[in-house]
Structure 1
Amino acid sequence: MIKPFGALVALAIVPCLAMGQQWKVNVEAGKVDREGVPVHVDLELPADAHTKPACVEQGTSRYPAQLEKQPGGKTRVWWVVDQLAKGKSEPATIKLGVDCADGKFEWKEEPGKWTQLRFDGSPLASYMHESFDPERIEETKKVYHHVFRPDGKRLITKGLGGKFPHHRGIFFGYNRITAGDRKLDIWHARKGEHQAHREIVNEFLGPVFGGHELRIDWNDREGKTFLEETRMLRVFPIDKETMLIDFRSELAAVDGPVRLEGDRQHAGVQFRAAQALAESNDGRYLRPEKWSDMPANKQFNGPDHKDLPWNALQYKLDGEPITVAYLSDPKNPDNAEFSERGYGRFGEYFPYEVTAKKPLRVHYRFWVSTNEKVTREQIERQYQDMVSPPSVVVE
């Protein structure tokens, strides 16, 4: 089964009457302890509500809120819940026109090359999208997202060059593609096939998250588009040590079925750590309980290493710890083979045939932490936040 673009949390989509400029809701934790989890609820608010600041009061805490217009006229209200114990329910009040934000996102760019997302001046992610140039294939053959530390101090992903130069940041590709009578490779992309940025459809900027919705063309060696990708990225800064990246993509066929194949080493949505890790080759993996008997300092790519709910790469840059947890939505296609490399590339692969009636939709999260002691239980909670999120119910 595949998942349509949808919500990050369970929610109630209902009309409600404002008490002045405030709305009452209940946040319900469910069966898991919650910590630093984005939540949202769709409400019928005044037409201009999304232009105003908002704040959520929950218990003794105040959280900045971000408002986003939705199709059909409703407004989505987002905030990040700091802590909520399992089984607990806590009332919250959404106050429109109240500003309790302590920071805000902005975009900086070098036109035609990259667009960088910053929070309070610190970079968190960069979208790399230089226009394809057949005279500079290696430099311009794919688009990808660079990732920074949650405090913005340095990049934690690799770009152009280094070990396996086609591995870059958070990237998506397949090395064995059949489109009609064309055999293509968007993973290595050495012969002219390439990904090309088409447009930024929408940008998200506020105190809770930043991001964008993109159109990306997957082109053959003559520059003809055979797949159209819609990619959505949202970045949530949880605190100075932690951030959450939500990645969604849809691939649609343009002129006939497209068969996507490859193997666990050369296809799928993958993360590649900074080149410094390739030089030390000492990445460690923190895996779910089922795979916990595997040595952390050994990469594993066996036949039963598939359909992992999550996997986490742990490494050091400039002597400081980094954990990147790769969380796979269970509604992604199944029989996904997972790949690990000590030099810092990891992710999952599955074959798929894209048709006009059956686009490929995928959803992943990347949880990034610079905390020295990240536990299996912490990452499992992050996974549960994705698959069994807290609910927000309108009173």
Structure 2
Amino acid sequence: MNESLDDRASLEPDDRQSSPPVRNHVPALVGPLGGLELDPPITTDALTHLTRRILIVDHRNLLSRSLRLPAFAAALVLLLSPAARADHEVVVTNGEHELLDAPVTAVLPKGLAGKSVRLVADDGKPVVSQSDKKEGKPALTWIIPKIAPKQTLRYKLVPGEAATAPAGEGVEIKETGEGVEITINGKLFTVYRTKKGVANKPYWWPIIGPTGKPVTRAYPMVEGAANERDDHHHHRSLWFTHEDVSGENYWHEVDKAASTVHQEIVDIQNGPVFGEFTARTDWIDTKGNKTADDIRTMRVYNVPDARLMDVMVTVNASQKELVWGDRKDGMFGVRVAGTMKVDAKKGGTIRNANGVENKEAWGKRAPWCDYFGPLEGETVGIAIFDKPTNLRHPTYWHVRTYGLFTANPFGIGYFKGDRKKYDGTYVVPKGDQLRFDYRIYIHKGDTEQAHVGDVYAAYADPPEVVVK
């Protein structure tokens, strides 16, 4: 689609000299001085040219005295007003760390809200971007593949349709009979499974990594798979729940287990940069009573050679006080593919942000933890990032050499080995809420080869974005 610009703004300097006399356009441009704005906006150069023409015309007394001052003042207001400018500079300034695969978001100025805008890099090339919201305000999101420490990147926001990815590329989300299917560039990434009667919780399975192979265990969804143990049938690929919430067990799949029950999908967004959906879930106790509910949003980014997904869960104590018990079995959990686990003795490795490895990483605190190993001839890994705003960040890791891998801020007594001295119980009063934010990074290679620390830094300490 062509950029929607005022004809005057698109003229070359020589063409402007032969444009119709300005007096034919002034009445439409001047109007009342209060709240004056052009739609679509015109460029600063065009406004400068317009102001000069008004002064020339006024000098020749072709305007009446009643229009002389308003005409000049109106053009000057348009020239200086940020809301009427056709382009804005976006300045992205990085901090102390090199960042990789960094999603960044710019809040749009009021003059551009609700309008089509294009993001252009400093070299003049358009940048693939997508409409978004930040703190309820219209915004634009794109991904910076790499930015060095202290580096500054500059862009321009100009009128026009945003640059898009080639046909068939992007993140697409759609509802199916099994739940919600997510594809990246036309290839399956995962299915968020919500079908009732299958498990006591929604879960993600399969999860396809950047090599095209599933990176989580298939059991119990598939029995008899190679390299897998048929233990812990409640470890369903990737899930979110806890063993003790107000005395109810939402973790294990047993006759007396409580459940988190999917209610509805309330929003879906597809696009070239990310896909996102929001689901509403009820927490039901063993007597069939609703004890709480949550809103969970899942955003999947379109990054090359990796998979990047944000999971944001806000649990509302809508029915009564919620007591999160000190238990080791919780909360945001993964069960890695059989060949990747340490116990397979094929090179599988657990490594956290502090360099602690394998069984020594169990119960330790760290801002992130990575579990990598061989998968059909290639090394892949799954890293979970704990957002700094989360409760008790950096979190504790319930990570086992047999393949279990969870972030758990509550099981402190278990992890410290002294439940009399330490108690991780946490109370959320009725009417309050507790939010959890995690990012999953599925990568090729080991921790160092995948630069897990740099990708985490983009999540924990994103670059500053200023629109001028």
For the criterion TM > 0.5, the same-fold answer is: yes
- Name the SS of the counterpart of 1:185 in structure 2: coil
Shift of 1:205: 0.9
Relative to structure 1, is the Cα distance of residues 355 and 87 closer, same or farther in structure 2, using a 3 angstrom cutoff? same
Are 1:314 and 2:372 an aligned pair? yes
Shift of 1:80: 0.3
Are 1:263 and 2:322 an aligned pair? no
Please give the residue correspondences for 1:28-43 in structure 2 after superposition, counting only pairs within 5 Å. Answer: 28-43=93-108
Are 1:238 and 2:316 an aligned pair? no
Instruction: Please tell me the residue identity of whatever aligns with 1:300.
Output: E
Relative to structure 1, is the Cα distance of residues 151 and 87 closer, same or farther in structure 2, using a 3 angstrom cutoff? same
- Name the SS of the counterpart of 2:454 in structure 1: helix
**Counterpart in the other structure of 2:176:** 110
**Counterpart in the other structure of 1:175:** 243
Shift of 1:392: 0.9
Please give the residue correspondences for 1:39-78 in structure 2 after superposition, counting only pairs within 5 Å. Answer: 39-43=104-108, 44=110, 46=112, 48-49=114-115, 54-59=118-123, 62-69=126-133, 74-78=137-141
Whether the 8 Å contact between 1:35 and 1:84 is mirrored in structure 2 is: yes
CA distance in 2, matches of 1:345, 1:18: 55
**Counterpart in the other structure of 1:326:** 384
Whether the 8 Å contact between 2:210 and 2:442 is mirrored in structure 1 is: no
Q: Normalising by the residue count of structure 1, what TM-score does the alignment of the two structures yield?
A: 0.82
Whether the 8 Å contact between 1:59 and 1:91 is mirrored in structure 2 is: no
CA distance in 1, matches of 2:383, 2:122: 28
Shift of 1:271: 1.8
> Which structure ranks higher in relative contact order (CA pairs < 8 Å, sequence separation ≥ 6)?
1
**Counterpart in the other structure of 1:274:** 337
Shift of 1:55: 4.0
Shift of 1:360: 1.4
Instruction: Please tell me the residue identity of whatever aligns with 1:310.
Output: W
Whether the 8 Å contact between 1:225 and 1:254 is mirrored in structure 2 is: no
- Name the SS of the counterpart of 1:300 in structure 2: helix
**Counterpart in the other structure of 1:140:** 199
Shift of 1:344: 2.0
Shift of 1:110: 2.8
RMSD (CA atoms)? 2.6
Relative to structure 1, is the Cα distance of residues 281 and 349 closer, same or farther in structure 2, using a 3 angstrom cutoff? farther
**324-333 or 342-351, which deviates more:** 342-351
Whether the 8 Å contact between 1:127 and 1:144 is mirrored in structure 2 is: yes
> Structure 2: where are the runs of 5+ without partners?
1-80, 221-229, 411-425
CA distance in 1, matches of 2:212, 2:449: 26
**Counterpart in the other structure of 1:299:** 359
Shift of 1:234: 0.7
Shift of 1:85: 1.5
Whether the 8 Å contact between 2:91 and 2:152 is mirrored in structure 1 is: yes
Residues 113-132 of structure 1 show CA distances to partners (whole Å, capped at 9, x for unaligned) of: 2211112211122211012x
Whether the 8 Å contact between 1:312 and 1:326 is mirrored in structure 2 is: yes
Whether the 8 Å contact between 1:286 and 1:376 is mirrored in structure 2 is: no
Residues 16-58 of structure 1 show CA distances to partners (whole Å, capped at 9, x for unaligned) of: 53643x4321111122222220000111355643xx5844424
Residues 267-297 of structure 1 show CA distances to partners (whole Å, capped at 9, x for unaligned) of: 11112213454683653012223xx2x4x4x
Are 1:193 and 2:193 an aligned pair? no
Instruction: Please tell me the residue identity of whatever aligns with 1:326.
Output: I
Among all aligned residue pairs of Structure 1 and Structure 2, give the percentage whose two residues are the same amino acid: 22
- Name the SS of the counterpart of 1:299 in structure 2: helix
Whether the 8 Å contact between 1:300 and 1:340 is mirrored in structure 2 is: no
Whether the 8 Å contact between 2:190 and 2:208 is mirrored in structure 1 is: no
Relative to structure 1, is the Cα distance of residues 147 and 48 closer, same or farther in structure 2, using a 3 angstrom cutoff? farther
Please give the residue correspondences for 1:144-163 in structure 2 after superposition, counting only pairs within 5 Å. Answer: 144-146=203-205, 148-151=207-210, 153-161=212-220, 162-163=230-231
CA distance in 1, matches of 2:351, 2:361: 14
Whether the 8 Å contact between 1:325 and 1:367 is mirrored in structure 2 is: yes
Are 1:366 and 2:424 an aligned pair? no
CA distance in 2, matches of 1:301, 1:185: 25
Shift of 1:373: 4.8
Instruction: Please tell me the residue identity of whatever aligns with 1:189.
Output: E
For 1:88, which of 148, 151, 161 is the aligned residue?
A: 151
Whether the 8 Å contact between 1:160 and 1:166 is mirrored in structure 2 is: no
Shift of 1:319: 1.8
Higher strand share: 1
Residues 219-251 of structure 1 show CA distances to partners (whole Å, capped at 9, x for unaligned) of: 112332111011111111210x21211111111
- Name the SS of the counterpart of 2:277 in structure 1: strand
**Counterpart in the other structure of 2:3:** none
Residues 197-228 of structure 1 show CA distances to partners (whole Å, capped at 9, x for unaligned) of: 11112112111011211111111123321110
**Counterpart in the other structure of 2:284:** 219
CA distance in 2, matches of 1:168, 1:337: 21
Relative to structure 1, is the Cα distance of residues 19 and 97 closer, same or farther in structure 2, using a 3 angstrom cutoff? farther
Q: Normalising by the residue count of structure 2, what TM-score does the alignment of the two structures yield?
A: 0.70
CA distance in 2, matches of 1:82, 1:376: 16
Are 1:165 and 2:233 an aligned pair? yes
- Name the SS of the counterpart of 1:177 in structure 2: coil
**377-386 or 253-262, which deviates more:** 377-386
- Name the SS of the counterpart of 1:382 in structure 2: helix
Higher helix share: 2
Residues 121-165 of structure 1 show CA distances to partners (whole Å, capped at 9, x for unaligned) of: 11122211012x3xxxxx231102236344472321235514311
> Structure 1: where are the runs of 5+ without partners?
1-14, 134-138
**Counterpart in the other structure of 1:7:** none
Whether the 8 Å contact between 2:383 and 2:442 is mirrored in structure 1 is: yes
CA distance in 1, matches of 2:122, 2:207: 30
Relative to structure 1, is the Cα distance of residues 78 and 120 closer, same or farther in structure 2, using a 3 angstrom cutoff? same
**Counterpart in the other structure of 2:455:** 382
CA distance in 1, matches of 2:161, 2:271: 14
- Name the SS of the counterpart of 2:104 in structure 1: strand
**Counterpart in the other structure of 1:136:** none
